[in-house]
Structure 1
Amino acid sequence: MAVTVTRTEDCKAEITWAPEDDLHGHLVQSVDNERLAYALESLGASQVGFSEPTASEEYALSQASATTYLAQLLERRAAVQVVKLRDHYALSWRRIALQLFDDADKQSSVRRMYDSGRRHLGH
């Protein structure tokens, strides 16, 4: 994938991609409907911001919705990637668990991701 993220200034970045890198339109939709912006803002928020919110209720709901939507989408993508790692590259459960969770003993978590990924792929 040719998606690039370039930090242009201290607190600025530019994201670019080619049309073939976004076949389902998830990137462009996430930018256009501000889901990506809300999720990135959530990622950068401090714990104080979560415990003492200053945003309006509607803004907070939009941010939570966008973050959850993208998290679910990324979770599905990660599960499909585990299928690829196991089936295409023939990696062991242990090696995948070590790479994903920094814990080789989390093989059952990887197997659950694998099963989820196969369901998403229609297997």
Structure 2
Amino acid sequence: MAVTVTQTTSTAAEITWTKGDDPRGFIARAVSTDQLAYALESAGEVEPTEENPDRALSATMHTVALARLLERRAAVQVVRLRDVHGLSWRRIAIALYEDAERQSTVRRQYETGRRYLGT
């Protein structure tokens, strides 16, 4: 993995990447716009202490924007799992959802990923 996350203490980490790891600037944008910070705060399941409704709305907006980006990137990864690595729908469904019956969900992700790739 080219992007590295190094845990520096029990409650701190350092993220490093190069321009080659982020050619479209998604990582840099997620960091500089606080998308990553808000998303991580949300992942920690801590209720925001933000009393200003506009700032609370902004935090949610940034979290959702990063979630959408990750959904798109996951769809592209499903395309690669199928087209490059030749994995079966069943194997992908088990790996992603721990459920072999979710193959239709994986196929929808695949079709979405193909649209993002323009193929």
**TM-score, normalised on structure 1?**
0.91
Matched, 1:117 2:100: no
Give the length in aligned residue pairs.
Answer: 118
1:54 corresponds to 2:46: no
* Aligned-residue CA RMSD (Å): 1.1
| Unmatched 5+ stretches in structure 2 | none
C-alpha displacement of 1:18? 1.3
Q: Which residue of 1 aligns with 2:39?
A: 39
Q: 2:59 aligns with which of 55, 63, 78?
A: 63
Q: Distance in 1 between matches of 2:14 and 2:49?
A: 28
Per the alignment, residue 18 of structure 2 pairs with 18
Distance 2:54 2:43 in 1: 18
Structure 1 gaps of 5+ residues are none
33-42 vs 54-63, greater mean Cα deviation: 54-63
Cα pair 1:38 1:62 within 8 Å, conserved: no
Fraction of identical pairs, as percent:
57
What is the TM-score when the length of structure 2 is the normalising length?
Answer: 0.94
Tell me what 1:27 maps to. 27
Moved more, 106-115 or 37-46: 37-46
| Correspondence for 1:74 among 70, 74, 99 | 70
- 1:54 is displaced (CA, Å) by 3.5
- Secondary structure at the aligned position of 1:106 is classed as helix
Asked if residue 86 in structure 1 is aligned to residue 112 in structure 2, the reply is no
What stretches of structure 1 move > 2 A for 4+ residues in a row? none
- Specify the code of the residue in structure 2 equivalent to 1:72: R
